[in-house]
Amino acid sequence: MNTKTRRALLGLALLGAASAVHAAPNCTIRLKGDDRMQFDLKTVTVSASCPKITVELTHVGKLDAKVMGHNVVIGKTADVGALSTAGMKAGAASHYVPKGDARVIAATTVVGGGASTRTSFPGSKLQPGGDYTFFCSFPGHAAIMKGKLVVTK
């Protein structure tokens, strides 16, 4: 085999490997929240084919959870307003998430500056192409601290 043929085959092999890497489903949502009431991402993508989807939140700010706490709640976009209101009523002891509410697909605990939290849920709770939002349910945060959850197969 000549050098040109070897290079062409190597290039094709690398291209195939790169495609396989891109085809792997994303099963983890990693977000950072700060003292300015913002997530670092406005859109995240996960695959409904994941047996388990993990949500990881790191609060990169300095303020205490009582003042500037953050969590991540996932629900259908149409339910965000009602979930936010129900979360405020649930209060701090419930991490601003209504207990047993079927509209909550997943929710982390509330954390303050310098802390992290995580939760997991079955990928089967999401439908590819569905209209989902992730948001912080700490009182007053959901209005600006939210993003789109894109679900692929």
Q: Is residue 13 part of a domain?
A: no
Q: Is residue 10 part of a domain?
A: no
Q: What is the mean pLDDT of residues 26-34?
A: 98
Q: What's the CATH number where 44 sits?
A: 2.60.40.420
- What's the mean pLDDT when you consider all of the chain? 90
Closest Cα partner for 69 from 102, 33, 122?
Answer: 33
Q: Is residue 136 part of a domain?
A: yes
pTM of the predicted model as reported, rounded to 2 decimal places: 0.85
- pLDDT tens string 80-132: 999 999 999 999 999 999 999 999 999 999 999 999 999 999 999 999 999 99
- pLDDT tens string 122-148: 999 999 999 999 999 999 999 999 999
Q: Is residue 145 part of a domain?
A: yes
Closest Cα partner for 142 from 79, 55, 52, 50?
Answer: 79
Q: Is residue 38 part of a domain?
A: yes
Query: Distance of CA 150 to CAs 36, 50, 115, 131, 141, Å?
Result: 24, 14, 26, 8, 21
Please count the structural domains in the chain: 1
Q: Is residue 4 part of a domain?
A: no
CA gap 21, 37 in Å, rounded? 33
Q: Is residue 146 part of a domain?
A: yes
Domain that holds residue 67: 25-152
Q: Is residue 16 part of a domain?
A: no
The pLDDT of residue 25 is above 70: yes
